[in-house]
Amino acid sequence: MKYIALIYSTPGSSPAYGTPEFGPFMAAYQAANERFAKDGVLVAGEALEESSTATTLRIRGGRTETLDGPFAESKEQLGGYYVFECRSLDEALRYAAMIPTATYGSVEVRPIQNLQQS
């Protein structure tokens, strides 16, 4: 089954680029990525630009509306994701716990619906 791990953090809570802590933080991501690939669970994963770069789209009454920025105001913002192929939620949670931002923010893990299933 596929699971998505949505990575949330409050802006400024993770080590900033150029600080002494940034190198080890990125090295931890590299190590996690290598582990996910080695174990064969990594389907996809990407970091996202800041939420201020988002454009929100809605269709209301047949009209398309776009708004600059995220739809909801929140302290924690979506910063990236991984998609894992795992046998169980427990296995997906074990891999999600390896995501370094879990130390500074949170990681939401959800099963991905298989709409092709009969």
The pTM of this model reads: 0.88
Mean pLDDT of 95-108: 95
Take residue 71 and report the two structure tokens written for it: 């739809």
Query: Could you give the percent of the chain with pLDDT greater than 70?
Result: 95
Res. 69 pLDDT band, cuts 50 70 90: confident
**String of b and e for 77-90 (b: at least 16 CB within 10 Å)?**
bbbbbbbbebeeee
Would you kindly state where each structural domain of the chain is located, as residue ranges? Answer: 2-111
Mean pLDDT of 42-56: 91
- Is domain 2-111 classified as CATH 3.30.70.340? no
Residues 6+ apart with CB under 8 A from 103: none
Q: Is the pLDDT of residue 118 over 70?
A: no
